[in-house]
Amino acid sequence: MSVRTLSLKALLFLGLCQVGRRGLASAPDLREPPKKIAIVGAGIGGTAAAYFLRQEFGPGVKIDVYEADTVGGRLATENIEGRDYETGGSIIHPLNLHMKHFVDRLGLSVRADVPSKMAIFDGKELMFEESDWFIVNFLRMLWRYGFNALRMHMWVEGILDKFMRIYQYQQFSYSFSSADRLVHAMGGDEFLALLNKTLEEAMLAHGFSQTFINEIVTPISRVNYGQSVRLHAFAGSVSLAGADSGLWSVDGGNKRVCSGLLYHSKAELIAARVTNIALKTRPSKSGTITNFYEVNYVGDSGPAHSLYDIVVLATPLHQGLSDIAFSGFSPSLPSHFPGRYHQTVSTLVLGRLNVSYLDTKRKPSEFLVSDVFTTDNEKLGISSVSSLDPVHITHGYSRPLAHQTAVWKVFSPEPLTEEQLKTLFISQEHVVEKRWLAYPSYRAPERRPPPFILHHNLYYLSPIEWVASAMEMSALSARNIALLAYHRWHGHTAKVDQEGLHARLRGEL
Ligand SMILES: Cc1cc2nc3c(=O)[nH]c(=O)nc-3n(C[C@H](O)[C@H](O)[C@H](O)COP(=O)(O)OP(=O)(O)OC[C@H]3O[C@@H](n4cnc5c(N)ncnc54)[C@H](O)[C@@H]3O)c2cc1C
Ligand SMILES: *[C@@H]1O[C@H](CO)[C@@H](O)[C@H](O)[C@H]1NC(C)=O
Ligand SMILES: *[C@@H]1O[C@H](CO)[C@@H](O)[C@H](O)[C@H]1NC(C)=O
């Protein structure tokens, strides 16, 4: 991604911010605003939903956010010898405009950059290694893969260009009732078709070589989604964007965005596990029936419940992730939707890397690689090994070299055995293991994601993850849900599921 495109797009976005949503509002709102909104889950999705719902509905509505575990969800850190390290979601793309906006708005900053160097390991040797010099990398890539690397860059940029349209739609207050419709609004049938084929099929059809796919594309999809190039091409291209330059993270830890958004939205955090959501109806004076949602939860002081006008579920309703029962709905709602989440174990090791495992010929003091990605080799048992920098880079920090004691992060589908750890590391002073049900286990064709609307005013944010899982995806789904909830509450049907937005809004710029 060139700096020029980036600044142009960023400017465009900022310019749109100035227009302001309210300025564009049409008819006055006749209906009374909602009094109470509940959000289940305080990850980036739930906290961004609190922020955007506050923006839409104004200061009058009470917003409660339920969290069973810790604020941040899959954005989490672990402390090793006085420093914090990301164990979950860590990198953010330079064109993730919602994440950028949050960081600016909340007065947070971007973590200082520490240069890194990537290599690819096939179980026997490092088959590719980055150099410090751009031109050397370029020539090495050209030598081995012809123009595949350059073309991949252009292919991903083409997809990203269409993806960026969502920011314009949202700035003009448009919303979508399903992930399918949202994807279609960005890139039409061509985008929907990306959900129907594997990344491998899509790239072969575009003329990429099988060698390039095996040696470069597979390692990238393994480190980002723990899966091979058999994932669908939409998630696949998002993972390839994760190999762009200019990636960043939040100084002090990405989860600070979540606590910041909670604070900024003046939402109340309720430390409790939601167990059941029951539909309650009440006749109003005018004779119509009003729906309420009774949120049942278990906190420190035992079970309790509370009534809401609107509820947003911001946690995946899948096996092992959240167990919420629904009662009183007709047709009934399932606790779990089909499809499972992929396990990625994140193991942080303070110790010395066994360099000879990766490269028998090299002296440890000459091993300067910071990120080792892997090819699709069943026997390997790991997806990646990366040198990890703390969430805050102090002045004068330099990353320890491979022959020194450093913090490494290993991604693997199963917990590492003692034996695996002993092969990978010469010394282990401290080991922390975090098991995640990390992101969907993608397939192609992908099954249709669940709807965003589960009932009149009961919304579900996480289906977007079946398109692709990333902080920005949850954030843009949060914005979409807030707009959807607002427009549906006030009956602004013209702001929901509009076709041909791209062509229509082109003239607006
Ligand atoms: C190892 C790993 C690496 C990743 N790398 C990246 C990356 O580099 N870049 C990137 O953009 N993304 C990355 N991701 C993906 C990213 O972290 C997620 O897409 C994102 O954090 C999801 O946020 P969310 O708020 O939608 O869900 P979650 O963060 O899962 O939030 C849901 C919350 O709901 C709570 N909850 C669940 N059930 C209940 C209940 N019944 N009652 C109350 N609360 C409940 C949970 O405790 C949780 O806090 C990675 C993820 C993992 C695991
Ligand atoms: C994707 O595949 C499904 C069947 O699996 C089909 O119904 C749908 O039309 C396909 N969509 C596109 C855009 O090709
Ligand atoms: C390091 O890796 C090599 C090569 O796989 C292996 O033979 C050795 O046992 C490992 N451990 C140590 C401590 O060197």
pTM for the structure as a whole? 0.94
Three-state secondary-structure class, residue 223: helix
pLDDT tier at 233, thresholds 50, 70, 90: very high
Strand, helix or coil for residue 350:
strand
Q: Which of 143, 110, 111, 116 is CA-nearest to residue 223?
A: 116
* Mean per-residue pLDDT, 160-173: 97
- The ligand whose atoms approach the alpha carbon of 234 most closely is 2
Separation in Å, CA 132 to CA 80, 136, 496? 29, 8, 49
Q: Is the C-beta atom of 357 inside 6 A of ligand 3?
A: yes
Mean pLDDT of the region 316-320: 96
Q: Is the pLDDT of residue 185 over 80?
A: yes
Q: How many residues does the chain have?
A: 509
Specify if 163 maps to a domain: no
Position 37 in a domain = yes
Q: Is the pLDDT of residue 5 over 60?
A: no
- Give CA–CA dist 473/54, Å, rounded: 19
For residue 56, how far is its CA from the centre of ligand 1 (angstroms)? 24
Is the per-residue pLDDT at 23 higher than 60?
no
- Asked if residue 405 has its Cβ within 6 Å of ligand 2, the reply is no
**Alpha-carbon gap, residue 341 to 241, rounded angstroms:** 21
Å from CA of 237 to ligand 3 middle = 36
CATH of the domain at 502: 3.50.50.60
Average pLDDT for residues 289-302, to the nearest whole number?
A: 95
Predicted confidence band at 15 (pLDDT cuts at 50, 70, 90)? very low
Ligand 1 touching residue 223 (CB < 6 A): no
Give mean pLDDT, residues 141-170. Answer: 94
Burial grade of 374 (CB within 10 A; 0-12, 13-18, 19 or more): buried
Mean predicted confidence (pLDDT) in 75-85:
97
* Closest alpha carbon to 49 in 496, 474, 497, 492: 474
Range of the domain at 41: 3-73+254-340+444-508
Strands 325-327 and 268-283: parallel
| CB-ligand 3 contact for 427 (6 Å cutoff) | no
Task: Give the C-alpha distances (Å, rounded to integers) separating 495 from 33, 161, 174, 436, 487.
Answer: 18, 23, 5, 37, 7
How far apart are the CA of 360 and the centre of ligand 3, in A? 9
Given a contact cutoff of 8 angstroms between Cβ atoms, the answer to whether 156 and 240 are in contact is yes
In a domain, 164, yes or no: no
Residue 4 phi, psi dihedral angles, 5° rounding: -65, -50
Task: State the ligand closest to the CA atom of 76.
Answer: 1
Task: Please state, in angstroms and rounded to a whole number, the distance separating the CA atoms of residues 103 and 319.
Answer: 32
| Model confidence at 484: pLDDT above 70 | yes
Q: Which two tokens stand for residue 275?
A: 């167990």
Q: State if residue 441 touches ligand 2 by the CB under 6 angstroms criterion.
A: no
CA distances from 461 to 39, 175, 279, 292, 474 (A): 10, 13, 19, 19, 7
Q: How far apart are the first and last CA of the chain?
A: 23
295 three-state secondary structure: strand
Give the count of domains, the chain: 1
Radius of gyration of the chain from its Cα atoms, rounded to whole angstroms: 23
Pairing of strands 371-374, 384-387: antiparallel
Write the CB contacts of 12 (distance below 8 Å, at least 6 apart in sequence).
Answer: 168, 509
Distance 384 CA to ligand 1 centre (A): 20
Answer whether 311's CB lies under 8 Å from 458's CB.
Answer: yes
Domain membership of residue 15 (yes or no) is: yes
Of 220, 200, 224, nearest to 210 (Cα)?
200
Residue 309 falls inside a structural domain: yes
pLDDT at 29: 56
Question: Does residue 417 sit within a domain?
Answer: no
Look at the block and give the residue holding tokens 């950028």. 100
Query: For residue 312, which of 477, 116, 142 has the smallest C-alpha distance?
Result: 477
Nearest CA to ligand 2 atom 13: 193
pLDDT tens profile 247-280:
999 999 999 999 999 999 999 999 999 999 999 9
Atom of ligand 1 nearest to the CA of 436: 53
> Of the residues 349, 354, 427, which should be mutated to test ligand 3's pocket, given the most ligand atoms within 8 Å of the CB?
354
pLDDT tens for 320-351 read: 999 999 999 999 999 999 999 999 999 999 99
How many angstroms does the Cα of residue 232 sit away from the middle of ligand 2? 13
Whether 276 contacts 327, CB under 8 Å: yes
Buried-exposed string 42-67: b where 16+ CB fall within 10 A, e elsewhere: bbbbbbbbbbbbbbbbeeebebbbbb
Whether the Cβ atoms of residue 505 and residue 172 lie closer than 8 Å to each other: yes
pLDDT band for position 402 (cuts 50, 70, 90): confident
Which is the closest atom of ligand 2 to the Cα of 193?
13
Residue 151 located in a structural domain: no
Per-residue confidence at 43, pLDDT binned at 50, 70, 90? very high
Banded pLDDT at 289 (limits 50, 70, 90): confident
Q: What is the pLDDT confidence band of residue 26, given thresholds at 50, 70 and 90?
A: very low
Task: Give pLDDT, residue 24.
Answer: 44
Report the SS3 class of residue 383. coil
Determine what percent of the chain is predicted with pLDDT higher than 90: 82
Q: Is the CB of 354 under 6 A from ligand 3?
A: yes
For the segment 100-143, what is each residue's pLDDT rounded down to a tens digit? 999 999 999 999 999 899 999 999 999 989 887 777 777 888 88
b/e 205-236 (16+ beta carbons within 10 angstroms → b): eeebeeebbbbbbbbbbbbbbbbbbbbbbbbb
Per-residue CA distances from 252 to 108, 109, 137, 398 (Å)? 9, 8, 32, 17
For residue 357, the CA-to-ligand 3 centroid distance in Å is: 6
Residue 190, in any domain of the structure? no
Q: Looking at the predicted structure, is the pLDDT value of residue 14 above 70?
A: no
Q: In 33-112, which residue ranges form alpha helices assigned H by DSSP? A: 44-57, 97-105
- Name the average pLDDT for the chain: 92
